Amino acid sequence: MSNLAFIFPGQGSQFVGMGQDVYNTFESVRTRFQQANDILGYDLAELCFNGPEDQLNTTSFTQPAIFVNSFIMFELLAERNVKPSMVAGHSLGEFSALAAAGSLDFKSGLEIVQKRGTLMQDASNYQKGTMAAIIGMDTKQVESVCKHASDKGVVGVANYNSPGQVVISGTIEGVQAAIQLSQENGAKRAIELKVSGAFHSPLMEPALAEFNQKLDAVDLREPQIDLYSNVTAKKASDVTEIRKLLASQLSSPVLWTQTIQAMALNGAETFYEVGPGNVLTGLNRRIDRKLSTVTISSLEQIQAQEE
């Protein structure tokens, strides 16, 4: 389908039990999980299917878990000849998108995602931070609130998720000051998120040097289909540029609304959210009600592609 776009979820989409139905059904999925266990050095299937939830929600475990589940769903679609003409991924999901575009193989993708998760966890431990969703407030207003709150601590926009839903990130003091200001200035809701760190903010910069080393060492190939970057909301095809963008992404905002709009403008008529959960499906509805989005996160949804 020339107008089919695949979008891949990031952190926050994980849930205990994800992937178990396809694991029980397909030998190819069991093989992938075994490869993942060998690469990671622990039983990922056990963690995904049975938890504990606290461990699954810890960044260093969450990121490999989501990558593997997204990759498996992508492969099951490919086996049914359902292939995209363009891809993007939300934050961590960008690595799943790279794999789907032929830039990263499974092993390299999982290794770099594991490293990314560990480094982000370390950066979070080094300087405590948090994130909050600001709902029902104009983007420019949220940016202004962050600017005014930044005398209390580091705070800025982390995710432009959809019109009326912006996520902010920074130090605990900065984010809490911004929450208060946004409530005073007409936000419908301002909710601190259950995250272990201030992702997509300057607090992630301690992770950059080592992450860059890992990126330089990984075998990254030119995408075979259009790949959209979180940092620019534009197509990226040059390998050197993709490496730079993946590093910048750690401490830069995710331009998700702009990415979906750019994909639609360039011909995407149907979006498949490939991987656990349906967070991106919900965001697409808010970005543009006319967009057709299909969630692919279960055995039933995979089997529906065979009909």
> Catalytic positions, please?
91, 200
The closest alpha carbon to 70, from 41, 91, 39, 43, belongs to 91
Q: How far apart are CA 192 and CA 176, in angstroms?
A: 8
Retrieve residue 259's tokens: 């990415």
Q: How far apart are CA 298 and CA 51, in angstroms?
A: 18
Residue matched to tokens 């259950």:
194
Q: Is 126 helix (H, G, I), strand (E, B) or coil?
A: helix
Residues 117 and 59: beta-carbon distance below 8 Å? yes
Q: How far apart are CA 95 and CA 116, in angstroms?
A: 10
Q: How far apart are CA 13 and CA 9, in angstroms?
A: 6
